Structure 1
Amino acid sequence: MPKINQEHLPTHYKIDIALPQYCLAIEIDGNSHCALSRQEQDRKKEKFLSLHGWTVLRFSNQEVISDPERCQQTIMSTILKLKMSIIILPTEY
């Protein structure tokens, strides 16, 4: 059983596809994610990741199968936005 913090969020999660250099999590949801209890778990997971600086993209299995190009375009567009938002701090002399 995972450790629970004061906000009742698990202290770790598995991500379907993680791009840590961009803090980007890509989740691909099957039919089990239609259940209300699973949707609540997904919201908690997204909150946890967001609080730790991650962006979460969520696609259904059907979206990935029927229109993989659109999914890829969404991912690439998000990566570009994340790259542009990285602030490079000046070094101290």
Structure 2
Amino acid sequence: MATLDGDETLVVPAGVQHGNEFVLKGRGVPSLNQGGRARNQVRGDLRVQIAVFVPKKLNARERELLEELAKLRGESFSAQESRVKSKIKSAFS
């Protein structure tokens, strides 16, 4: 990811959720209270917030891969979709 000092690597562990935050100590903006001294400036922390985007539409291959992942995890991808469809149907019946 891009920082004030160039690219930085951030390792995001498994299970991280939308909105989780990571802090890179001393990688933020220089403090204004340093009197303009370029060297030895105290810097703040860079805070990185994770944003997870969920696709609204899936093509056939993407859907197939998600179904395969659900199967490997012992979950049912299509069952969740069926419940949503039945709730929508019952709301309009």
TM-score by length of 1: 0.26
| TM-score scaled by length of structure 2 | 0.26
Considering only CA atoms, is the larger Rg found in Structure 1 or Structure 2? 2
Structure number with higher helix proportion: 1
